[in-house]
Structure formats: structure tokens, C-alpha cells
Structure 1
Amino acid sequence: MSFECCEGRRPLTFSRRYFVKQGGIAMVGLSTMPAFLQRAIAATPSSGKKKLVVLFQRGAADGLNIVVPFGEQNYYRMRPTIAIPEPRLGSADCAVDLDGFFGLHPSLASLAALFHKNELAIVHAAGSPDPTRSHFDA
């Protein structure tokens, strides 16, 4: 084996002590992994079955700047400094048009293709009717 391309650098070597130490750290990490992640990793992948992924975002996520109602002028009137600009051709810092009224935040542009292929649905302004905001009581 030649290391000509790595002149001035020594090749990586692993000692038994390093391997045991890193392996032990990994085992501790795996033992503290939540049960749902352990089941997900152990599950066999199934092809052909439909999947439902639900994201409930509470707190720092601003739903009106994630899914932008650019067709509603009140959005721009009520948010003059933080509104995402309406879609414009060739502009990467504007909303990505979904249906002529709603658009995605520019950083989520890759999801637009899934939306247009009917592989992504967005349920806007939906949540739990439980007013306690507790995930234990809901």
C-alpha cells in the first residue's frame, strides 16, 4: 500500500485500547437510546406500504413562515418585517409556490417536488384540542 498522496501525514492506526474505549462508549450510547428508536432500527424495511409522518411543531417553529400564505395580503400587512416574500422566478429567497396561494419557506424548496407528486400533504394550522399544552394529558 502506498501513502504517496498523504505525504507528511501518518496513516491512521487504531490500538486495541482505543477500539475497546470507543466500543464501550458506543454501547453505553445504544443502551440509553429510546425504545422507539431501537424498534425502528430493528424493524425490517417494508416496501410498498404507505407511511404517515406527522410533525407537530410547537415553540420556535413559525407555521406562517414555514407554509407561507403569500396569496393573503393580510399576511404581509401584519408581518411587515418578517414576512417571506412572494414567489418570483429566479429568486432563491422567496416563497416556493405550491398552489397559487400557499408556498413553502425557501429552505424547504426540496419538499415542493413531493407536494406536486402528491407524496406530501400539509395540514396547516392543525393541532390538539387539549388546551393544557401537556403531552402527558393530551
Structure 2
Amino acid sequence: MTSSLSNDTLSRSYTLSPVAASVPAARAWARRMLVRWEIPHLAERIELLVSELITNAIKHAKTGGAPVALILRFVGETLRLEVHDRDAENRPIQQRPMAEAVGGHGLWLVEAYSDRWGIDLTEYGKAVWVELDDCGAAT
């Protein structure tokens, strides 16, 4: 998919160790950013997306212990979440999860809760991103 963001954004990044304890830390950080940007009504949705993408990066990316970066960007009415890791080879693959399966639902949830998502190769690995439209202040 193609991103719809311009270059005129509010942007913050958070660097995380590739350990399970980073997942709740990333959710809490994202919530604080949304409150600061006066869009807290998106917090539950963003926390779910952060959890899925950070968990995937920690569990599946072969990073050799390199940190994972979480970036939030907000411009106009679009919010973009990116998770960067150092593994360009292992790209997420959306699976058709079995209803009774414990895992395998992550990218299905990402697609269901975002307007767009994709994977970009970067100089140092990859970025998995999602975008949410119509993210202005709650009415």
C-alpha cells in the first residue's frame, strides 16, 4: 500500500530493547503521545497495534539483539505508527488464523484496525507501518 502522509508532521520515536517487557512500555509511551497530541480517543486502537507490531519485531525479527524503534507521526487527520527492526529478510506474512489457534492473529488484527499497513525496506532493515485516517479530536 502507499502512504498518504506529507512531510509536515508531529513525530516522536522510542527505542526499545528486543525483550517482552518492552511491549507494555511501548503501549504506555504511545498512550502518552496521543494524550499530548490531544487524540486520546485513539489510545485503545493504537495500543493494540503497537502490541502486535512490537511483539512481531521482538519474536520474529533476527536482529542480533539490536533495539527496535517505535515511531508515531501525526499530520492533519492521519496517524502513522512504524516499528523498525534490523531484519530486512524476515518480513511479516499475513496468515489465515484458525479460530482456536493461540497465535497467528497479529497481522489480521493489524489489517482490521488500520486503514492501511505495509512494509518498507530501510537502510538498516525494515519498517512495518500502519496508518489511521480521520484522527482529529474526538467529537
Which fold has the larger relative contact order, with Cα–Cα distance below 8 Å and residues 6 or more apart in sequence? Answer: 2
Query: As a proportion of its length, which structure holds more strand?
Result: 2
Bigger Rg, structure 1 or 2: 1
TM-score of the pair, normalised by structure 2? 0.27
- TM-score between both structures, scaled by the size of structure 1: 0.27
